[in-house]
Structure 1
Amino acid sequence: MNNQSPKIKKGRKFDQVVAGARDVFMREGYTGASVDSIAKAAGVSKATLYSYFPDKKLLFLEVAKTECLRQSETAMVQAHSGASTEETLTDIARRMTGFVLSEFGQQVFRICVAESERFPELGRTFYRSGPELARARVVEFLNCATERGDLAIEDVELAADQFAELCKADLFQRVVFNMPGKVTQPDLDRVIKGAVQMFMARYGTSR
């Protein structure tokens, strides 16, 4: 059995295809997005689209990877804007939870899990080029905050992972297991505030 994922081919209209697909996936979700609507939004033929992405899942994960990086880089702009460490952590937490808990983020998660046996490289490739790079941005910020003396962290990578988990407390499992009741804004605010406060209580130098 061939467990190799189909390959993505880069080309002149690659970014154009991804940008068009982002609009459609964000609006209609993975299941609702047709190849015809994606090609139309991207301004390319279906043949061109398939020449870059032979499988819709690959295109969806490429869009998700781009979105991960966009979110993390926007957070780094906040980090360099003069905002306090606590304010920046709150911003990072909002972006992180917003993506993970969104319908878009959940569809990414489900596809990676569903295809993990058949195409194990699919999820690995997405992780390495999306979430792993986003994590590196958080590590970069925590290193800067530690060098400034705002935080006292010995294992910055572990701290970044701990912060990510704090931001998902209860919420992620509720969404994954389709528990009754929507996650509300007060739910998000409560978890984010608690995550930042706990992180600062552990690593903040003013505690």
Structure 2
Amino acid sequence: MSHTDSDIALTGAGSRGEPESAKRRDIIDGARRVFFDKGFDGASMDEVARAASVSKATIYVYFESKEELFEALVLNDRARSAEHLFDVNAATSDIDGLLRHIGTTFMRMMVQPDHIRLVRMVIGVAEKFPRIGRSFFDAGPCRGGERLAQLLREQADLGHLVLDDDREAAHIFFNLCQGRIGKALLFGDTTVPTEAQIAETVDRAVRVFLAAYGTARPA
């Protein structure tokens, strides 16, 4: 059974601590289109309402402000990315293949135009709304670092790595994978890297990482 805007308003179904509803997803999807087209400052709740095919009153049932809606968009996109990044066999003995898979998947996400636009928007609003910047950092780099650190710990337990600080090692790996590509795109390079360029950068990152943390490194 479908709900009208008035039905939702009467139920008071909110976003805080409750399962995501179809209506909330529609609002976030509409907001994504508007924010990516207009930017944070240029976007209005009226435009989001039109893009999501809901009333503006319905948006305020789920989100108290444009800032909260943008924060929800940021968290939603980071959660989607994490689902694909760590779909791996953590118990594998092929540490080289594991790191290449994670690094390649990571870089394919990092070079997406929508990701670049989102990062730029977050940086642009972080000074005025630091909570949004912290949310992005916690849901993206920090969560990804924690997940990779866990995988690296498991690989160390299997005897494939020697770690002094698993969290720091995880962030070092992600930074190595980005090389110059990530920053170049962030600061205006419009040349989307090819699969071969991504593979070359990740290959270099894996070799450097294993030279530092692999069990075959020089004494």
> Above 0.5 in TM-score?
yes
Q: Distance in 2 between matches of 1:21 and 1:99?
A: 23
Match for residue 197 of structure 1?
Answer: 207
Q: Percent identity?
A: 25
Alpha-carbon shift at residue 14 of structure 1 (Å): 3.7
Q: Distance in 2 between matches of 1:26 and 1:92?
A: 26
**Higher mean Cα deviation, 80-89 or 195-204?**
80-89
Alpha-carbon shift at residue 9 of structure 1 (Å): 4.6
Note if contact 1:36-1:46 (Cα within 8 Å) is conserved in structure 2.
yes
Q: Normalising to structure 2: TM-score of the pair? A: 0.74
CA RMSD, 1 decimal: 3.0
Residues 1:155 and 2:165 are matched in the alignment: yes
Match for residue 20 of structure 1?
Answer: 26
CA deviation profile, 1:46-78 (whole Å, cap 9, x unmatched): 422232234455434433323333433433331
Rg larger for: 2
Q: Which amino acid aligns with 2:22?
A: Q
Q: Distance in 1 between matches of 2:159 and 2:93?
A: 15
Q: Which amino acid aligns with 1:158?
A: E
Q: Normalising to structure 1: TM-score of the pair? A: 0.78
Q: Distance in 1 between matches of 2:166 and 2:129?
A: 32
Residues 1:88 and 2:98 are matched in the alignment: yes
Q: Distance in 1 between matches of 2:157 and 2:93?
A: 16
CA deviation profile, 1:111-131 (whole Å, cap 9, x unmatched): 221112211121112222333
Q: Distance in 1 between matches of 2:86 and 2:192?
A: 30
Q: Distance in 2 between matches of 1:39 and 1:84?
A: 45
Change (3 A) 1:204 1:17: farther
Note if contact 2:28-2:69 (Cα within 8 Å) is conserved in structure 1.
no
Q: Distance in 2 between matches of 1:101 and 1:56?
A: 26
Q: Distance in 2 between matches of 1:13 and 1:72?
A: 18
**Higher mean Cα deviation, 29-38 or 131-140?**
29-38
Alpha-carbon shift at residue 177 of structure 1 (Å): 1.7
Secondary structure of residue in 2 paired with 1:130 = helix
Note if contact 2:96-2:206 (Cα within 8 Å) is conserved in structure 1.
yes
Match for residue 30 of structure 1?
Answer: 36
What does 1:135-154 align with in structure 2 at a 5 Å threshold? Answer: 135-154=145-164
Alpha-carbon shift at residue 151 of structure 1 (Å): 0.7
Runs of 5+ unmatched residues, structure 1: 1-7
Q: Distance in 2 between matches of 1:73 and 1:60?
A: 20
Q: Which amino acid aligns with 2:52?
A: A
Q: Distance in 2 between matches of 1:18 and 1:135?
A: 28
Match for residue 4 of structure 1?
Answer: none
Q: Distance in 1 between matches of 2:117 and 2:67?
A: 10
What does 1:163-202 align with in structure 2 at a 5 Å threshold? Answer: 163-179=173-189, 181-202=191-212
Match for residue 39 of structure 1?
Answer: 52
Runs of 5+ unmatched residues, structure 2: 1-13
Tell which has more relative contact order, 1 or 2 (C-alpha 8 A, sep 6+): 1
Q: Which amino acid aligns with 2:204?
A: G
Match for residue 3 of structure 1?
Answer: none
Match for residue 134 of structure 1?
Answer: 144
Change (3 A) 1:26 1:122: closer
Change (3 A) 1:18 1:74: farther
**Higher mean Cα deviation, 97-106 or 191-200?**
97-106
Count how many residue pairs are aligned between Structure 1 and Structure 2.
Answer: 197
